[in-house]
Amino acid sequence: MQPFRLRLDARQWFKDLRDQRVFKTDFDAFYFCFITGVTMKRKEAVPLDETAELVAYFPDRYGPRGKLMVGLFLKSELEMLGVSMDERREVHSAIAHLVTPEAPNFLSDEGVREFNKYAHGGYDQLIAWFEDRPRSLETFLRSFKRKIDQNITREAV
């Protein structure tokens, strides 16, 4: 079973929030990278030696949100693949390739690899959005929400 993976440079970028114990685990950083990547539909393949292995499940407070994160992933992935929801056979095939319902993270190995690519691409987007790495959670969250909202609004137009 494939684990979620966080880029080493992303781990360093979120260092202050981890040192302040605002981020309890590296999955907190992974979450913000993933949400950015999936929102912006930005994926990036990164060599394994440039990443840190996390866990193969949605830890702690992310457990109840795991299915929601997988849903966001599938929505973006189907759009990236150009699969319309009207194409039932193609939708089923794509989802069957990416999802394993009995897995602790609900994803196949290929699904986890693609999921990780969104987190890697999301990190690239975060460093493009922010001049400096986050130093406090409050400031980061306000700016993060503003950036996400701006891009959701643009997409809706």
- Map out the domains of the chain as residue ranges: 5-156
Query: What rounded mean pLDDT belongs to the chain?
Result: 94
Residue 156: predicted pLDDT: 57
Both tokens of residue 50?
Answer: 């440039």
For residues 115-133, average pLDDT: 97
Q: Which of 18, 9, 2, 6 has its CA nearest to residue 140?
A: 18
Residue 102: predicted pLDDT: 94
Q: 135 to each of 5, 12, 130, 145, 148, how far by Cα in Å?
A: 23, 12, 11, 16, 19
Q: Is the pLDDT of residue 157 over 60?
A: no
